[in-house]
Amino acid sequence: MKATQTDSKERPPASLTIGRLARAAGVGVETVRFYERQGLLAEPERRSSGYRNYGEAAIARLQFIRRAKELGFTLSEIKSLLELRRDPSSTAADVRRQARQKIEEIDEKVRSLQQIRAALMRLVDECHGHGPLSECPIVDAMEHGPGTTVATKGKKS
């Protein structure tokens, strides 16, 4: 069976320069270099010209890293996940454990963001949006900390 023009466009060549690899994986060239330095991507063989020579497996690896980042995993956590993939004794339970831990971290961040949102909403409610900036409770809270709004300044307890 003959390869069509579309087939060659859909499947990248088995030997890729760093630029082609980056485009195929949807990342930047500097990202590829950074991941190599961090040990997330193996340093490839070099061509006689000195250019890096990547295989198709590097595309899958970079896409894995990109998708894991989209799910909130740090590069350190992604490195750990990649190491699990290389370890024949690793199981799905190992990955599940890391994913559950990430969910707990996300839940904590959500709780923290909800508290920040509530505090900011209170300040917005206190600010009428007119008058001098020196009487703005939002600016005041940022300068002096929470609980020291313009309304309470100067009052003795």
Distances (CA, A) of 33 to 2, 39, 105: 36, 10, 29
The predicted structure's pLDDT at residue 49: 86
128 and 150 in one domain? yes
Q: Tell me, yes or no, whether 135 lies in a domain.
A: yes
User: What pLDDT does residue 150 have?
Assistant: 52
Rounded distance between C-alpha atoms, residue 15 and residue 21, angstroms: 9
Q: Note whether residue 69 is domain-resident.
A: yes
pLDDT at 7: 47
How many folded domains does the chain comprise? Answer: 2
Task: Specify whether the CB–CB gap between 65 and 40 falls below 8 A.
Answer: yes
User: Do residues 69 and 141 share a domain?
Assistant: no
> Is there a domain that residue 96 lies in?
no
Does 128 lie in the same domain as 78?
no
Shared-domain flag, residues 45 and 18: yes
Q: Does residue 68 lie within any of the structural domains?
A: yes
Q: Could you tell me which of 45, 34, 43, 19 has the C-alpha nearest to residue 69?
A: 34
Q: Which domain holds residue 110?
A: 103-157
* Residue 24, domain member (yes or no): yes
Output the pTM of the full model.
Answer: 0.72
Tell whether 127 and 60 lie within a shared domain.
no
Per-residue pLDDT of the chain (157 residues; tens, 9 = 90+): 544 444 444 555 568 999 999 999 999 999 999 999 999 999 898 888 888 899 999 999 999 999 999 999 999 999 999 999 999 999 999 999 999 999 999 999 999 999 999 999 999 999 988 889 988 999 999 998 866 555 555 544 4
